[in-house]
Amino acid sequence: MTYEKIREMIITRMLEFTGIDQKRIDYQNPGQRFEPPAEGIWCRLTIETARPVVRGLCQPQARVPGNIIIQCFDRAISQTPTVALIRLADAFTEHFQFWESGSLLCREAQLINVGAGASVGNPSGSGYTQANVQIYFIAG
C-alpha cells in the first residue's frame, strides 16, 4: 500500500465524521490556507507514518505502521481539556478506533492532554486549550 493511498483512505474516513463541521478541520495539504475560527472548537489532522516492517519472507511485503493525530483546540479557560474537547475526543475515538478498510486497520485511540498556552494552536499568541486524539494504525 502506498503512502498516498494511506493518506487518501484516512482523509476519506475523516470526511465522513459528523461530530464537527468540516469547515473547522484543518487537513494536510489543503486547497487553500486554513484559518482557525475566532470562536469554538476546531481540529487539525496529521498522519504520521513510521518505519515499515516486513510481512512474510516468501513474498516480501511491507506493513506501514503509523498514527493518526487529531489535534483539537478550544479557547483556553484552564490547563485541562474542556468538556466539549473531551466529548469531541470521544466522538473521534468512536469513529476511528478499530475501523478498517482494505488492508488499513486502526487500533486503539488515546487522549493526550497537551494543555493551554499563549501559542498553543495559534501563532498569533491568543491561547487555546489543546487535546490530541492519537489513533495507532497499520497498513499493508
pLDDT at 122 over 60: no
pLDDT at 24 > cutoff 70: yes
- Asked if the model's pLDDT at residue 117 lies above 80, the reply is no
pLDDT at residue 119 in the model: 55
**Containing domain of residue 41, as a range?**
3-139
Chain centroid to Cα 17, Å, comes to: 12
- Give the pLDDT score at 138: 97
The grid coordinates of residue 101 equal 478498510
**Can you give the pTM of this predicted structure?**
0.87
Question: What band does 129 get if pLDDT is binned at 50, 70 and 90?
Answer: confident
Domain count, the chain: 1
The CATH number assigned to the domain holding 87 equals 3.30.2000.20
Torsion of CA 68, 52, 98, 57, to 10 degrees: 170
At residue 21, the pLDDT reads 96
Question: Tell me, what amino acid is at 136?
Answer: Y
Q: Is the pLDDT of residue 79 over 70?
A: no
Q: What is the pLDDT of residue 75?
A: 80
